[in-house]
Structures are given as structure tokens and as C-alpha cells.
Amino acid sequence: MNNITTNTNNLTAAPATTTGENFVFFRHFQLLEIFAAIFVFIAIHSLRQKRKQGLPVWPVLGMLPSLASALQSNNMYEWISNVLKTQNGTFHFKGPWFSNLNCVVTSDPRNLEYLLKTKFVNFPKGPYFRDTVRDLLGDGIFSADNETWQRQRKTASIEFHSAKFRNLTTESLRELVHQRLLTVLDDSVQKLTALDLQEVLLRLTFDNVCMIAFGVDPGCLQKGLPEIPFAKAFEDATEATIFRFVTPTCLWKLMRYLNIGTEKKLKESLEGVDEFAEDVIQTRKKELSSRCDEKKMKSDLLTVFMGLKDEKGEPFSHKFLRDICVNFILAGRDTSSVALSWFFWLLDRNPIVEQKILEEISKIVKEREVVDDDEMVMVFKAEEIKKMDYLQAAISEALRLYPSVPVDHKEVVEDEKFPDGTELKKGTKVVYAIYAMGRAEAIWGKDCLEYKPERWLGRDGRYMSESAYKFTAFNGGPRLCLGKDFAYYQMKFVAASIIYRYHVKVVENHPVVPKLALTMYMKHGLKVHLSRRDQKITTSKVN
């Protein structure tokens, strides 16, 4: 009887256990269904947002995964260009929740004219930009707004347009090219060694900007290319600073507090930048205090600013002078040298363009009353440089495709509406993509990706400039680059001096991609081989 009872109990207990297991299984299955439904909903929602806004928008993360993926690629600027192409030139970037990465990105010339000129006062650099670059640029002209910017702009403008300053710039450039640049290039030819042309050009422009802006000669461009700690520190600082723009502010500020990652790199590199600026300022102060004859005073920007007073009638602070130095180094060193690097790379890929430039230069040389046979002594005159229309067109075309400053930033101070209909709320950050503009078919036509200098020439073969809101390599409106004319002169003088003497050949299979920085460095430099030209043969081609 007991056995029967036991068996009966076992029989009745078994279904209960099975039922419990089934219930647990069913519950897990329901949870999986819920998670699957949520995943499908998120995926569908993200795809809808992608069709609407150009990129998938994920809950919490926003468009950050797409940005992170672009950062891992070789060219984030191409990624921006492709998104803008699908969105008719403007799109809203949505960052993660509680971050300040939200912004409007545009490459529409109508919008650029509106923010750079028409409503200039409503689109300053803004507090976000100043906070992001403050450690590097401080209150210098690149990041300043309102009265601070206007005062620096006015002072620099007066100096840039003075005859004394123009003479200083042309003389220093001629000296650097003929006594240093050509010597370094010739040394490479004799030794049959490859050379990083980008590094050489950066050294050239660094020496040049220091001589004309601060009255000091750092001697960066010398045989053997001696290591200059400041140059490396400056490049590292600009690279680390740009990462702040693609990182939530709370995150990079935490990294700065903990002194880790790119913030640690920025802190260390800024020590080298500040040390150089300190040496320049102290040297100049000592020179000024020991000179009494105003006629012997140097005509450089730093000297001019040292002689001025701030709004309180006091001499400018040491920090402000430091900011002046760093900003003008960024403006004068990186932009021209980086542009020339991309220009020579494009020439290597377009030999017909190189030949046309060479023919133009050779024709100008042949028109001289006396042709100097000693090519190392021959110097192009200012009036000859001005005649090089095709060369200027070729450089402009390089800048169109590879602008030295690929993107720039503004902030809206009150509710606005772009000409293309985009609504802008107060505080909205606006990024205008200069790199993307050069690749926009709507702006430059179906051949926008081709390197075609002829698009800059009129029927008479003379160079024709484009609207600053279509070709924004030198900015536009009130912030149009003060040094635009000198930059063209510098680039044409350097390019003509090199092309007339050497054929520049990029090393086979050398990787050429842009580096993520404030200016468009080539990530791996530009390794080239140089070979000498025969000027007699070159000149005979234009007979």
C-alpha cells in the first residue's frame, strides 16, 4: 500500500515540475521576443533616420557610432562629403544624449555667404569653440570674437598693408628659398636620397613666419634638417586639439583632469609650444629695451603689438602676446606648406599640368633682357611671379580639392534660418565643410573630382578668382584671410623656384592620406625623389 502511495505521489509531482520548467522556458522566450522586437524597432528607426538625415540615429548614442567608424577610416573628410552629398549640402549631426556634439554641417554656398557675410555678427566662433581650443590658441585672432578679434584684426591689417612689411616678407622669402631651401633640395639630389617634401616645406614656412611675425630666425631649414622640438610639439598640439571636437566635452575634460590619452599628449606638447613663445617674447623685450633709435626698430607683428595698449591703457599681457605668437604660427606656417605639399602630389599625378607650368615659367624667363645661366643664383622678380597665371590656377585647384583648413566652426547667437530652409536654434553649432565643397558637383560641375587648373582661367588665359563662398580656402566676409595675397605670392615663388630646377617624383607606393588635425597635413608626409632639369632644354621648348 505504501508503495502504491509513493508511486502515486511521484506521478502527481512530475507534471508540476514539468509545468514549472515550461513556465521558465516560456518566460525566457518572451524576453527574447521582447529584446528582438526592441532590436528590430531600433534598427528600423535608425534606418528611417538614415534616409531622413543621412546617418543612422541610435538611442542614447545618436550618430556617434558612425562618427567613430569614420575616425577609424583613412579620411573622415571624405565621409563628411559623402553624407552631405546625399543630403543636398546640409545635415543635422546628432551626438549622444547629454553631450554637446549636436551641430549642423553644411557645404551650401548660400549658407556660407549668409553666415560669413550677410549675418556675420550672428555667427561668431562662440564659447564652445573658444573653450575647445583655448589651451592652444588662447584669445588669439583665430578663436577671438567681438572687440578682442576686431582689435587684433585691425592692427594686423595695418601692418600687412604697409610697404615696410611687404618688403620684409619678400626679402625674407627670397633669402630662405635661395640660401636654404634650394641648398637642402640640391643636397638630396647629390646624395640620391628620398626626402619628405612636406617636412621641408613646413620648416621653410616656419622660419619665414618667425622672421616676419616675430623678427627671429629659428634656423629650422638647414642641411641635415636638425630636429626642432617646437615644430613637433606644435603638430602634436594641433592634432590633440582637433580630437576635442569629436569627443563629448565632459569626456575630454575628464581625460584632462586625469591626464590621460590625447589630453596628456596635449599638455606635454603645450609645454614645448609655450617654451618657444616665451623665448621669442623675452628675446624681443630685451632687444626693445636696449634700442633707442626708432628707425632701427624691426617691423614685425610682435613688435607692433608690444607697442600697443589694451582697453585699460596697459601694455598687452604676457599671455596675450603668447597667444599672438601661436595664432600667427598656425596661420603662417601650416597653411601654405600643407597646400604646397598637396599641390606637388597632384602634379606628380598630372604631368601635363606640370609641363604647362614649366612652359609658362620658362617663357617668362626667356622674356628677360639678360638670362642668367647660373640657375642657383637666378631669382624670380615680384612682377614675374604676378605673371604666372597658370601656376596660380594650378595652386588654386589644389586648394579647392585639398583646402589647408578642411572644416571650420561657428555658433548661432539667436534663432536663425539658412537660405536653404534649415532652422537654427540659438546656441546651435554650425560646421562648414570646406573640403566637401570642393567635391560638390552642384558647385563645380560633373568634373568636380578632376584636377583641372583651366577652370580658373578666362579666355585670355588670365587667372580669374572665384567667390569666397564657393571657394572658401581663405575664408570669407570680415574674416577673409589677411595674408591671402602674401600666401599666393609665397606659394607661387616657392613652387616656381622648385619646378624650374627640379622634377619632383613621389616615391612609388607612398601612402598619401590626410591627417586629422586643425590643418590638412599629409599623415605620412610626402616622400619624393628630386632630379635636376636642364634649363637650356626647358627654355628651348617655348621658342
Task: Detail the residues annotated as belonging to a binding site for heme.
Answer: 481
CA–CA dist 21, 418 (Å, integer): 62
Residue 340 host element (H or E)? helix 335-349
Q: Provide the 3-class DSSP secondary structure of residue 438.
A: coil
User: In sequence order, which residues have a C-beta less than 8 Å from that of residue 342 and are 6 or more positions away?
Assistant: 398, 401, 402, 520, 522
Q: Which residue has the cell 613652387?
A: 495
CA–CA dist 148, 467 (Å, integer): 28
Annotated binding site: 481
CA–CA dist 196, 188 (Å, integer): 10
Q: How many CA atoms lie within 13 A of 516 on its CB side?
A: 19
Task: Note whether 467 and 109 are within 8 A (CB).
Answer: yes
CA–CA dist 319, 41 (Å, integer): 54
What does the buried/exposed string (b/e) look like for 279-316 if buried means 16 or more CB atoms within 10 Å of the residue's CB? ebbeebeeeeeeeeeeeeebbbbbbbbbeeeeeeeeeb
Residue 91 host element (H or E)? strand 90-93
CA–CA dist 84, 434 (Å, integer): 12
CA–CA dist 392, 384 (Å, integer): 12
Task: State how beta strands 429-433 and 103-106 pair.
Answer: parallel
Which of the 8 DSSP states describes residue 519? Answer: S
Burial label, 335 (beta-carbon count in 10 A; 0-12, 13-18, 19+): buried
Q: Provide the 3-class DSSP secondary structure of residue 513.
A: coil
Burial label, 121 (beta-carbon count in 10 A; 0-12, 13-18, 19+): exposed
Cβ count near 82 (within 10 Å): 14
Q: How far is CA 89 from CA 54, 71, 418, in A?
A: 11, 21, 12
